[in-house]
Structure 1
Amino acid sequence: MDPAKFPVSAIPLNHAQYGPITDENLKGINEGKVALVTGGARGIGRAISVKLAISGASIAVLDRLEDELAETARLCEEHGARVKTYVVDVTDVEALRGVLKQVESDLGEIDILVNNAGVSPGRPQWMESFEDYWRTIEINFKATMVTSWYLLPKFRERKAGVIINIASRAATVDFPFAVGYNSSKAAVARATSTLQEEIELDGLGDQIQLYALHPGGVPTAMAKKEIRQELLEKYPSLVSHGTDFQSLFKDPPELCGATVAYLAAGRAKELRGMYWDCRQDVERVKAYGREKLQKEGRYTLKMQFLDGYENEP
């Protein structure tokens, strides 16, 4: 991806916790709730778990990395949170369902679901088997739907619950070597908005919210992958683009983690069902007004045609 092809925000973005999402303002806002975080062993998932712990929630952390899970639990417990960890492959549907049931037994009914588990192999289609491509879809999208399908009926019955799906700017732009990642994140964003539409039809939007959240440019293990030498030789322009691309990853995972805790507490219901970038000021965006955001088609995936042509039903 060539960053020069894309615009730059005239309003400065946040690259650290600010105002309403500082640790001081997060304390206790999710007291008594149970939160489940997938892919919580390190990076963004770990930061989300810790910020939810600061906000007072009990935490269930899922991942395949047992040692790293233990460290996440320790960090959450430093804030007085009750924490349980579960080693599971989120693409194994029955195993994942079993863990969800176990969490309910261990911690109680789940109030907050954060679908964070994700991968991006960073290979072009011709270097990737279909099976590898499909596994990306399964981790990033199928697992998100498995957990949502399990919990949404329970949320409907209790008339309460929040689902936060970690999406990506990749859902909104085209760039090479990420067909599985891009398409799965676009699917996450669209599924989030569609499911919220169904919730709204039943008059439950004030009780149940779903969000698709871009976590910012976080220098995770996935983001730090070097471009392969054979790709640099085949596509020389990647030398400059790759360097520029890596420099975009400058956001701490705590910014996303704090935003998740804030959304989980129902503090930005105006943005429910929408795709949103955690680097933007949440108070500024929600102050614009939900009705106006929807009327203008903002914070949603859309298609633009030539003037005069419309996306008719």
Structure 2
Amino acid sequence: MDPAEFGISTLPLQHGPYPAISPETLHGVNAGKIAVITGAGQGIGAGIAESLAQSGANVAILDLTVEKLDKTKETCQAHGVKVEAYACDVTEKDAVLATFDRIEKDLGPIDVLVNNAGILDQRPYIMSTFEGFWRQIEVNFKGPLITIHALLPRFRERGGGCIINIASRSGTVDVPMTLAYVSSKAALIRATHTLQQEMALDGLDPAIHFYALHPGGVLTGMGGSAAKQDIAEKYGNLQDEASFMELFKDPPALCGQTCAFLASGRGEELRGLFLDCRQDVTKLLEYGREALLKEKRNTLGVKFLDGYCNEP
């Protein structure tokens, strides 16, 4: 993959928490809220959980096993908030419903949901098992839809709530050998746009606000993993390793602090949009919601030849 193929920003990107989203700026902004984070055992999910705890939220952290959550729980508790850990497979509807019931019994009504759990198996579709391919779709797309479906009625009853879907720039570009990942992330971005419009239909906009968020280039076991041996044997070295690794220079705290900012409602004017946490939210807010929507910025789209429109 050649990064230059997708364009290079002329505005500076952020590679760490900046003033608008710093821990100092957001201290206490989510005090008293209950936030649920899936896939919180490590990496980005752990960073999101800590940032929300640091901003005052009590947190419910989810992963496949409780043991995977021990370190995250300890880190979050250091910020003086309530923290509970739950084993939950987000692709299992009954398990999600039961877990949410337990969370609300243990901590109280849920105010914030961050759908972070995700998996990636880098291989061409023709060399994949269908079961392996589909499992990625289930975790990355079905899982968030299950958690959202379980939570929306509760948000409706209480008149508000925030849902952040951890998406990816991969959902906006074509990346060979990641068909399940790019497809599921594109679907999640589109779902975010559409769900926000459905909130408007029900008179629940902006009280219930959705966001799709690219977490930046975080070096995790998923994003920074090398090609499997069978793939390398067939296709050789597909990328310049040095330039590829240069893409991963963002700490989990950049995404985490952006989530804390959005959960607070300070980014409400950006609801329903696809955001890149490396782009300064103050610039987007200054540009204005009306202009962003009118010009179809931060949303998925298709460019046709001049003169042709994507008409009904």
Which one is further off, 254-263 or 123-132? 123-132
Aligned match of 2:66: 66
The CA distance in 1 between the partners of 2:176 and 2:67, in whole Å, is 33
Residues 86-113 of structure 1: CA distance to partner in whole angstroms, max 9, x if unpaired? 0122222211211111111111110000
The CA distance in 1 between the partners of 2:61 and 2:34, in whole Å, is 11
Residue 179 of structure 1 pairs with residue 167 of structure 2:
no
The CA distance in 1 between the partners of 2:224 and 2:253, in whole Å, is 18
Aligned match of 2:2: 2
The CA distance in 1 between the partners of 2:280 and 2:132, in whole Å, is 37
Aligned match of 1:288: 287
AA aligned opposite 1:171: G
Residue 130 of structure 1 pairs with residue 130 of structure 2:
yes
Aligned match of 2:193: 193
C-alpha contact 2:112 2:163 (8 A) present in aligned 1: yes
Aligned CA-pair RMSD: 1.2
Aligned match of 1:76: 76
Report the Cα offset of residue 213 of structure 1. 0.3
Report the Cα offset of residue 206 of structure 1. 2.4
The CA distance in 2 between the partners of 1:142 and 1:6, in whole Å, is 28
Report the Cα offset of residue 56 of structure 1. 0.6
Residues 182-228 of structure 1: CA distance to partner in whole angstroms, max 9, x if unpaired? 00000100001100001112332221100000000100111121123
With the length of structure 2 as denominator, give the TM-score of the two structures: 0.97
Structure 2: give runs of 5+ residues left out of the alignment.
none
The CA distance in 2 between the partners of 1:213 and 1:109, in whole Å, is 24
Identity, in percent, stands at 53
What secondary structure is seen at the aligned counterpart in 1 of 2:275? Answer: strand
Aligned match of 1:251: 250
With the length of structure 1 as denominator, give the TM-score of the two structures: 0.97
C-alpha contact 2:62 2:85 (8 A) present in aligned 1: yes
The CA distance in 2 between the partners of 1:117 and 1:208, in whole Å, is 21
C-alpha contact 2:114 2:163 (8 A) present in aligned 1: yes
The CA distance in 2 between the partners of 1:225 and 1:288, in whole Å, is 37
The CA distance in 2 between the partners of 1:133 and 1:100, in whole Å, is 28
C-alpha contact 2:192 2:272 (8 A) present in aligned 1: yes
Residue 209 of structure 1 pairs with residue 209 of structure 2:
yes
AA aligned opposite 1:190: R
Aligned match of 2:227: 227
C-alpha contact 2:90 2:147 (8 A) present in aligned 1: no
The CA distance in 2 between the partners of 1:231 and 1:103, in whole Å, is 42
- The size of the alignment, in residue pairs, is 312
The CA distance in 2 between the partners of 1:111 and 1:179, in whole Å, is 33
Alignment of 1:261-276 (within 5 A): 261-276=260-275
Residues 1-24 of structure 1: CA distance to partner in whole angstroms, max 9, x if unpaired? 221312100001000000111111
Which one is further off, 272-281 or 82-91? 82-91
The CA distance in 2 between the partners of 1:193 and 1:119, in whole Å, is 22
What secondary structure is seen at the aligned counterpart in 2 of 1:273? Answer: coil
Report the Cα offset of residue 243 of structure 1. 4.0
Report the Cα offset of residue 294 of structure 1. 0.3
The CA distance in 2 between the partners of 1:65 and 1:262, in whole Å, is 28
What secondary structure is seen at the aligned counterpart in 2 of 1:211? Answer: strand
Aligned match of 1:299: 298
The CA distance in 1 between the partners of 2:230 and 2:137, in whole Å, is 25
What secondary structure is seen at the aligned counterpart in 1 of 2:213? Answer: strand
Which one is further off, 114-123 or 220-229? 220-229
The CA distance in 2 between the partners of 1:153 and 1:250, in whole Å, is 39
The CA distance in 1 between the partners of 2:224 and 2:311, in whole Å, is 42
